[in-house]
Structure 1
Amino acid sequence: MNYKNGRDVLPPSLLQELQKYIQGDLIYVPKLAEQRAHWGEVSGTRKLLAERNKEIYLYYSNGWSVADLERKYHLSGESIRKIIVKSR
């Protein structure tokens, strides 16, 4: 994380207002909600899990049992069933 000096990035009036509440400490200013990426979007994990879940449903549709899918994907039967129900 990059730290920036308030004097360099804030207008003087806003800096003075902030100094009424906090001085000399670090403060985190979060991004706007619409600018934040959802979980797994940046790393690609969300996409990988969606592909895995489609694959699980495809195998199930082709006759694989929940127990077979548990062994193949190292997931619990409950997780496999949730994926199948969600994919229908």
Structure 2
Amino acid sequence: MDKSKNQVLTEKSIRLLQQNQYTFDVNPELTKSEMKDWIEQFFDVKVKGMNSRRLPGRRKRRKGNKSGFSGSVRHKRMIVTLGNNYSIPLFLNQ
């Protein structure tokens, strides 16, 4: 599971679970097609669509009034929409 860093558990991602959408933080170099192929093989599901977003670096404070973000991208967030009758067992108690 080296391509996906972790599953995201926020209020929005939990709401998206009702619409059969799952949220992952992934490596910034990963493309949508690579992630789609990996999810379909790893979880044995059919991916209907994907959205991705690069999250900004950490907030930096500089000397004086200046502030901003560091130039590096920490991670990329992908929202994966699965086809009907498919699910990923992320939160099963064993």
TM-score (norm 2): 0.24
Larger radius of gyration: 1
TM-score (norm 1): 0.25
Looking at both structures, which has the greater relative contact order when contacts are Cα pairs under 8 Å and sequence separation is at least 6? 2
| Structure with a larger share of its residues in strand | 2
| Structure with a larger share of its residues in helix | 1
